[in-house]
Amino acid sequence: MDTNFEESKRLFIQAERIVAEYNDNFSHLIDLFEKNLIGFYFRKDNPKWAGKCKKTTEFEREITGKLIFIFVNQKWWNVTNTKQHKALLDHEMSHIGRKNDEPEYCKEIGIFKRWNPADNPSSWCIIEHDIEEFAGVVERHGLWELGIERIADACAIHERQMTINELIDTKGAKVVAIS
């Protein structure tokens, strides 16, 4: 059966490395990887996005055993560089939230020591973006909202950011949206 989706061990391994590198940000995801509850898939047709993250439905969980899916546009992946691949996987994993009904915060290491069970679907949620805004609105009105200021502060600590031209393939393929 021909399908537009192909599970990718390569994406899984790259994402697992990001979790290890940025453990302070992703410690809540370790169980997903250790218990193989997260699936990474290339989408072969040409969606208008670079990546997507979603909780699985009950049916999808039954069929795959996964609780979270991350999809990556295969065509986008093929025309972008390693730095962009890492940023996209980081972005998609940043959508994954984990609930802790009885948090036990450890001040010494700055993380929660206890999370709700990894294999319980209700332990997981999808986190929306910190900001969604048009460049033109920021150009016209400045940093008018706290989320925009946080993004501006985060950008200011880097010497150089990717330009829009770096996101556009010389053959004309371009990223329409990253979700």
pLDDT at 177 over 60: no
Where in the chain are the domains?
5-128, 130-172
pTM equals: 0.76
What 155-164 contacts at long range (C-beta under 8 Å, 24+ apart), as own/partner pairs, is: 162/83, 162/84, 162/87
> Model confidence over 19-68: pLDDT tens digits?
999 988 898 999 999 999 999 999 998 788 999 999 999 999 999 999 99
Residue 178 DSSP code: -
pLDDT band at 170 (very low <50, low <70, confident <90, very high): very low
Residue type, 17: R
Percent share of the chain, pLDDT over 90: 52
3-state helix, strand, coil in the chain (%, to 5): 40, 20, 40
Query: Which residues 6+ apart lie within 8 Å of 104 measured at CB?
Result: 112, 113, 114
Is the dihedral angle over the CA atoms 174, 92, 152, 154 positive or is it negative?
A: negative
